[in-house]
Structure 1
Amino acid sequence: MVKKKVKAYMYTRVSTSMQVDGYSLDAQKEKIRKYADAFEYAIVGEYEDAGKSGKSIAGRAEFKRMLEDIEADKDGVSYVLVFKLSRFGRNAADVLNSLQLMQDFGVNLICVEDGIDSSKDSGKLMISVLSAVAEIERENILVQTMEGRKQKAREGKWNGGFAPYGYKLVSGKLEIEEREAEAVRIIYDKYVNTELGSNGVAKYLAQQGIKKIARQNGSNTMFDTHLIRMILDNPVYCGKIAFGRRKREKKVGTRDEYHLVKQDEYMLCDGIHEAIIDMNLWEAAQEKRKAQAKKYEHVNKGKDEKIHLLSGLLRCPVCGSGMYGNKSIKNKNGKHYKDYFYYGCKHRRMLQGHSCTFNKQLQEEKLDNAVAEVISKLVSSPKFADMMQKKINMKVDTTEIETEISNLQKQLGQYIGTKRSLEKQIDSLDVEDRHYDRKLSDLQDRLDKMYDNIDDMEKSIAVCRDRKKAIEAEKLTGDNVYKVLIYFDKLYAVMEEADKRDLLSALIDEIQVYEEEQANGQWLKSIGFKLPIIDSEIDLGLDNDVHVETVVLIQRK
C-alpha cells in the first residue's frame, strides 16, 4: 500500500543582501524539494518573495497570500517548508505571531537547514530562540553599517549617495563641479549679503536665467526654495563632512516603521575635499537661518484661531495675490486693547521672492458684511432668478476630473516602472563590490521614495474618483441651489463661522477691492462667482445700468 504524502506549501525569500550561494531562490527551492522527496511531502503550492526584507511581513505580498490561503484551508496543507528560519522572518514577534496563526489552523513550520519542526515539543522553543537571534543579527548589521559610515566621516570622506550639487564624485571622492559651484557661490552671497531670504534667492536665480544643471537623480532645472535651503544648511560646502544630521527613529505606536528625524546635534569633521565657500560665509548663513526661524516661530505664536471668511478669496489690487485675515494686537504701556482683525496682502513683506507695496489693513468686519449684502441683493433680483431657472438641471461635466485621473494614472505607471527598475538594480548588485553597502543604501532610499510617490499617487487618484462620484451622485439641482440662495439672509445669519466660510468658498471665485478707500468708506469693488448657474463670462447686473460692481455703493449710501 502506497503511503499518502503530507501536503505542504513551499515558501522562499531572498533579500538584496543574500544573493549568494546557498541563499538564492533557486538554491532554496532545490534544498526544499530534496527534503520533501526524502520525507514524502507533497508540495501543493509555492510562494516566493524576491528582494524583500525579513524585518516584517508588511512588504511581503506572497507571505501574506500564503497565510490567507492557510486560513481559508485552500489546499488542506499540514506544513510550510522553508530553507532556514531567517527566510521565514527576522523579526521575532512577527515570526511567532505568524507561526501561532498557522498552528491555529493546524499547520506547522519546518525549517530544512535548521532541522526545526514546530510540531515537535522542542520546535517552538528553538524557533523563539533563533528568531530572536536573527532579529539581533539584523540590528547588529545596521549598527555595524552605521559605524562604518561614521568612521568614514571621521576620515573626512564622502559617505554615500549622489554628490551634493556643486560637486562630482571621482573614484569615490568629492571634486568641485565648477559649473554647478558657481551657482552655489551666488546662493550664499545673495543670502548672506542682501536682504533676500531663501525664497528671494530662488526668484533671483530664475530672473537671472541661472538654471540648475539636470542630473541623473533629478531632471528639474529650477532652483526651488527647498533646494536653496538644503544648500545653505549643508556644511559640505565649507569643507566639512557631517554625520548624523538626520537620525532613523521608530515611529511611535509602530513595531517596524521608521522615519528620518532632523537632529540638533551631529558630528562635524574636516573633509578631505575642497571647499566651495569659506567657513565665515557658511556660519553667517547659519546665523541668518536661525534668526529667520526664530522670527517665524514668534509670528506663528501670535496666530489667531478666528475663521477669516474671505481669506484667499480677496485679491490684492496691486499684485493680484491672495489677501488673508490676520489680527493686530495693539498695546500701550503694557495694556492690551481689543484685537483688530483685518485683511492684508500676503506679499506685503518680502515673502517667496515677491514684494508688494499694498500695505493697507482692510477692516475685516466691514468687508465681510459688504460681501454678504451684495449676495443678498443679488439673489433677490428677478434677473438673477431668471438666470437660475435657465440653468436648472444642467448636465454636470466631469471631463476635467476624468482627465486628471488619466494623467495621475499615467504618472502612477511611471512610478511603478521606476520602482521595478530599482528593484532590478538592487537584485543585480554584487555583494563583493567594495561600494556594495553605499550602492545598496542609495538604491533602497530611492526605492523607499518611489513607494512614497506611489502611495501618494494612489491616494490622489482615490480622491479624484471620490470627487467624481460626489459630483455625479450628489450634485445640487437648480431648485436646491435656488432654495439655498433665496433664503440666504435667514440661513447665513444663523450659520456657524466655519459653515459661512464653506458657503462663500462654494459661491465665490474671487473678490476685487479698490486700491484706495472710496468716498463712502467702502473698499469692495466686485465679486466673481463660480456657481454653475452664473455665467462667469458675462457682466452680471441687477438692471441695465447697475452692475454688481456698484451694488455695494448703492447698499452703503
Structure 2
Amino acid sequence: MAKAVGYSRVSTGKQLDGFSISTQHDMIQDFCKSKGLTLSKIYDEGAGSAKSIENRDVFKEMIYDVIENNKNQKVYVVLAKLDRFSRNTVDGIHVADLLKSHGHCLVSIVDGFDSDNPYAKTLLINKFAQSEQERENIVLNVRNGMKKRAQQGLFNGGKVFGYNSTLSKELEVNKEQAKVVQFIFDRYTNDDWGYKKIAHFLNTQYTEAKAQREWDVISIKTIVTNPIYAGFIRWGEKNDERKIYIGKHQAIISNAQWEKAKQIFEAKSYQPIKIHKGSYFLSGLLRCPDCGSSMVQHKSKGGKYLYYQCSKNKTKGLCKSNLVNKEKAEAKVLNELSSKLQSPDYENLLSEKIKQQIKLEQIPVKKQYSMIEQEERELQNKIDELFDLFTSHTIPKETLQDQVSRYENMKNELKTRKENIEAKLHLSSSQNTTFIVQQVLNNFESFFYSLGDTEKKGLLREIISDIQIEEVDTGGKRKKRQISEIHYYFDENILMEIAS
C-alpha cells in the first residue's frame, strides 16, 4: 500500500472555523482508508495562521521528513482543506512544487485537489491567489469601514482619558476623569499655563488626578491637541489624510475653548531660528544632584545662556531645575578625557573594557528586543487568525474591524519601542569599538568635534556611564553646580597603575 501522512491546523485555539482538529483527523483517516493509503502519521500544528510558514514548526518538520526520509518511496500529503496548507500564494506553490519535484503528492479532500493531476498547478495558483486576494480585500474593507465610522461621527475603539468605551464602541463621559480634562483645558486656555506647569500641579497638588495616572509634558500635550474632547472624531494618518468629523459622543469642553486651545498650540509650535548652534552631547549622562535623574538641554529666554537642566523638572515640573552651565561642563569632560587617553598603554585595556561592558549591557537589551519581537508575532498571529475566522464566516465583519484596529494600535506601540532599542544597539555595537578606540587615543578633541551630533553622543556613551553633579556654596544667594565625578566603563585604578 502507498504511504500517506496527514497535516492538520485550526485558525485559533478555540476551533471556531468549522474544521476542528478531531474533525480533520477523522476526514484524513477516512480518506486514506477509502483510497488504500497507509497513514503513518498526522502532523498536528494546533492553532495558528496559514499566512506564512515562518512560525509553523510542525509544518516545516513534516515537509523535511517527507522529503529526506522517503527518497525511494512516494508519499501522499493529505489535508482536509487547502487553506490548512497555506493562505499565501508564493509559499503554497513553492512547497507544493518542492514536494512534487521529489516525487510526492499533495491531496486536499474538500477541494478535490490532487497534485498528480496535470491541471493541478493551475488550480493551486487560482486557489491560493483567491485566498490571498480575499485577505487583501478584507484589509481594505476594514480600513474603509473604520473610515466610514469616523465620517459618521462614530468612535473606532481604544482608550481615551476622560471617556469610557462601551462594548459597542460608544464613548461615555467618565465624570471623574472629565473634571481633570476640563481643568487642563482651563489652565491651558485661560491661565496660559504650559504643559510642564500643568503636569507639576496634577502630580503634586491635584490628588484625584495623581491617583489616576502620572502626568508629564507628553500626556498634557496629547489631551490639549485632541479634538475628541470638543465632540469631534479624528481619522487618518497624521501627514496624509487626517480629517476631523463631528462626533456623536458628548463633548467635555466647548467648541470655543477648543478653538482657543488650537490657536495657542499653533502659536507655541512656531520654531524660531536657532541663535546658538551646537549639540547637548552630555544629555542623559549628567545626573541631577537632588533626584539622580538625567539632565537635558535648557536655554534662557532669547537663547543667550545655555544650560543642562534636570529632566524631571523639565517634563513633569518635579524636582528643581538645578541648572549646570553647558560650556563649562562640556569643557571639563573633554579636557579630562583628553588627558586620560594620551598614553598608548590605554588602547588594549580601554578597548577590552568597552567591549566587555557593551556585551554585558546588550544582553538585557537584546532580551527585551526578542520579547518585543515575540509580542509582535503573537499579535500578527491573532490578526491572521481573525482573518481566517472571517473568511470562514465564523465571525462578523464588525468584530473583525474592532479587533484588528485594537491589535494594529498595539503593534504600532511595539514598533516604536523596537526602533528605540535598535538605535541603542547600533550605537553600542562592538563593530564600531575598535575604530572608536583608535581615534580617541590620537587627538581626542579634534576627532570629537569633527563628529555629528548623534555620533558625539554615541561615542561618549561608549566610554562614560554617568557624570555626577555637586552643589557648591559660593557664599551668595545662588549656589553653583559643577561636575564632581565622571564614571567610566573602565577601572580607574587599573588605568592609573598602567599610566604610572
Determine if the TM-score, normalized by the shorter chain, exceeds 0.5. yes
Q: Which residue of 2 aligns with 1:55?
A: 51
Distance in 2 between residues matched to 1:42 and 1:293, nearest whole Å: 73
Q: Are residues 150 and 79 of structure 1, via their aligned partners in 2, closer, same or farther at CA, if it must alter by over 3 Å? A: same
Q: Which residue of 2 aligns with 1:391?
A: none
Q: Which residue of 2 aligns with 1:345?
A: 308
Shift of 1:312: 4.9
In the alignment, does 2:486 pair up with 1:529?
A: yes
Distance in 1 between residues matched to 2:217 and 2:298, nearest whole Å: 25
Aligned-partner residue type, residue 42 of structure 2: E
Distance in 2 between residues matched to 1:148 and 1:508, nearest whole Å: 51
The partner residue of 1:281 within 257, 260, 264 is 257
SS in 2 for 1:80: strand
Distance in 2 between residues matched to 1:147 and 1:490, nearest whole Å: 60
Q: Which residue of 1 aligns with 2:232?
A: 240
Q: Are residues 504 and 98 of structure 1, via their aligned partners in 2, closer, same or farther at CA, if it must alter by over 3 Å? A: closer
Q: Which residue of 2 aligns with 1:510?
A: 467
Structure 2: segments with no counterpart, 5+ residues: 346-352, 431-436, 475-479, 494-500
The 5-angstrom pairing of residues 250-399 of structure 1 reads 262-295=238-271, 310=282, 312-313=284-285, 322=295, 344-346=307-309, 351-354=314-317, 363=327, 370-371=332-333
SS in 1 for 2:315: coil
Q: Are residues 241 and 124 of structure 1, via their aligned partners in 2, closer, same or farther at CA, if it must alter by over 3 Å? A: same
Aligned-partner residue type, residue 269 of structure 1: Y
Q: Deviations over 1:306-363 (max 9, x none)?
A: 676655555689998636599xx99xxxxxxxxx9x9522579x94244987889654
Shift of 1:128: 0.7
Aligned-partner residue type, residue 229 of structure 2: Y
SS in 2 for 1:53: coil
Q: Deviations over 1:499-519 (max 9, x none)?
A: 9974696257426588999xx
Distance in 1 between residues matched to 2:460 and 2:146, nearest whole Å: 56
| Contact 2:146/2:401 (8 A) holds in 1 | no
Which protein has greater RCO, CA pairs closer than 8 Å, 6+ apart?
2
Q: Which residue of 2 aligns with 1:6?
A: 3
Shift of 1:47: 3.5
Q: Are residues 223 and 352 of structure 1, via their aligned partners in 2, closer, same or farther at CA, if it must alter by over 3 Å? A: closer
Q: Are residues 197 and 103 of structure 1, via their aligned partners in 2, closer, same or farther at CA, if it must alter by over 3 Å? A: farther
In the alignment, does 2:20 pair up with 1:24?
A: yes
Distance in 2 between residues matched to 1:450 and 1:311, nearest whole Å: 25
Q: Deviations over 1:474-514 (max 9, x none)?
A: xxxxxxxxxx9xxx986647755569974696257426588
Report the TM-score when normalising by structure 2: 0.67
| Contact 1:55/1:89 (8 A) holds in 2 | yes
Percentage of pairs with the same residue: 23
Distance in 1 between residues matched to 2:5 and 2:112, nearest whole Å: 16
Q: Deviations over 1:159-207 (max 9, x none)?
A: 3x34522222456332211011111212222333344444543333212
Q: Which residue of 2 aligns with 1:96?
A: 93
Distance in 1 between residues matched to 2:201 and 2:395, nearest whole Å: 47
Aligned-partner residue type, residue 50 of structure 2: G
Q: Are residues 303 and 80 of structure 1, via their aligned partners in 2, closer, same or farther at CA, if it must alter by over 3 Å? A: farther
Q: Are residues 197 and 26 of structure 1, via their aligned partners in 2, closer, same or farther at CA, if it must alter by over 3 Å? A: farther
Q: Max radius of gyration: which structure? A: 1
| Contact 1:10/1:43 (8 A) holds in 2 | no
Aligned-partner residue type, residue 43 of structure 2: Y
Q: Which residue of 2 aligns with 1:121?
A: 118
Q: Are residues 245 and 290 of structure 1, via their aligned partners in 2, closer, same or farther at CA, if it must alter by over 3 Å? A: farther
Shift of 1:290: 4.1
The partner residue of 2:153 within 156, 168, 177 is 156
Distance in 2 between residues matched to 1:323 and 1:213, nearest whole Å: 25
Q: Deviations over 1:103-139 (max 9, x none)?
A: 3444332121111112221000001112111122222
Aligned-partner residue type, residue 245 of structure 1: G
Structure 1: segments with no counterpart, 5+ residues: 215-219, 247-261, 331-339, 386-393, 471-483, 518-522, 536-557
User: How many positions carry a matched residue from both structures?
Assistant: 452
The 5-angstrom pairing of residues 339-488 of structure 1 reads 344-346=307-309, 351-354=314-317, 363=327, 370-371=332-333, 431=394, 436-437=399-400, 440-441=403-404, 444-445=407-408, 448=411
Q: Are residues 147 and 317 of structure 1, via their aligned partners in 2, closer, same or farther at CA, if it must alter by over 3 Å? A: closer
Shift of 1:275: 0.9
Aligned-partner residue type, residue 123 of structure 2: M
Q: Are residues 195 and 5 of structure 1, via their aligned partners in 2, closer, same or farther at CA, if it must alter by over 3 Å? A: same
